[in-house]
Amino acid sequence: MSHYVYAVLTEPPRGDAGAGLDAEPLRFVPVAGVLAAVGDMAARPAVSPATLRAHDAVVRRLAAVVDAILPVRFGTLLDGERALADALAARAPRLRAALALVAGREQMTLRVFGEPGPVAPAEPPPGELGPGTRYLEGRLRRAHRDAAVPELGPLRPWLAPLVRAEAAQRHDAAPLLASVYHLVDRGTAPAYLEAVAAGAPALAPVRASATGPWPPYAFAAEQLG
């Protein structure tokens, strides 16, 4: 039987988190100082609206009864305890660091809409570097450029008191310019939504819409991707 992984935790749930998306019992497997929340499945679930929502519901129920949770991508099925242990143990230090970041926090998502402006080219790497280093340095600089969302500048003073960490991704599908993921303390989502509403007029002609709270999906990727 394979293990379908929903999340990585620091400690067992304080209360009942219910069953998995296939109504299977949830188990919590300790590996290298973290816990994997898993359900036993013979095969991975098909991608459908129902299974995606069911996976998300399991993660949300878990998030409600633990302080720190790293959601795992849909469809992660590992072949037995050994594969699970190998996957977690190899990443344990980064998992623990990511869990410390998200403890007591949750995610808000901002979609930024507008007309795309000219994209500044990434600054070229210094010429004295070797070809391999120049290539990697160039990739790093492009990644930093793509994660920047200067359009949000006028909104940042409104959000700064609430935001504990940020992840962002620019898109090539205008008018959707970027998705920005903010980690906020649990219980402050209403204040975050109010801050977005209050600061949004200053963004014009760019617009932003906020959703949440969500489990910290983006911050699992930010730490471990």
Partner 1 sequence: MSPAREEARAVLEQADASLLEVVDNLLNKGVVLSGDVMVGLAGVDLIYLRLSLLLCAADRVLEERRG
Give the footprint of partner 1 on this chain (CB under 8 A): 5, 8, 44, 46-49, 52-53, 55-56, 70-79, 83-84, 87-88, 91, 95, 98, 109, 111, 113, 171-176, 179, 181, 207, 209, 211, 214-215, 217-218, 220-221, 224-225
Nearest in space to 162 (alpha carbons), one of 107, 216, 215: 107
Identity of the residue, 109 or 147, whose beta carbon is nearer to partner 1 in the bound complex: 109
Identity of the residue, 93 or 124, whose beta carbon is nearer to partner 1 in the bound complex: 93
Minimum gap (Å) between residue 156 Cβ and partner 1: 21
**Residue 5: both structure tokens together:** 């992984």
Minimum gap (Å) between residue 29 Cβ and partner 1: 12
Residues 6+ apart with CB under 8 A from 16: 65
CA angle 116, 121, 122 (to 5 degrees): 125
Minimum gap (Å) between residue 133 Cβ and partner 1: 27
What gap in Å lies between CA 32 and CA 115, rounded to an integer?
A: 47
Burial of residue 39 (CB within 10 Å: 0-12, 13-18, 19+) is: buried
Identity of the residue, 2 or 199, whose beta carbon is nearer to partner 1 in the bound complex: 2
Q: Which amino acid is at 118?
A: P
Minimum gap (Å) between residue 172 Cβ and partner 1: 8
Identity of the residue, 111 or 141, whose beta carbon is nearer to partner 1 in the bound complex: 111
Identity of the residue, 114 or 199, whose beta carbon is nearer to partner 1 in the bound complex: 114
Kindly report the number of other CB atoms within 10 A of residue 206's CB atom.
22
Order across the sheet with 163-173: list the strands. Answer: 163-173, 176-185, 105-113, 207-214
Minimum gap (Å) between residue 132 Cβ and partner 1: 25
Minimum gap (Å) between residue 52 Cβ and partner 1: 5
CB 26 within 8 A of CB 37: yes
Identity of the residue, 137 or 221, whose beta carbon is nearer to partner 1 in the bound complex: 221
Total count of residues recorded for the chain:
225
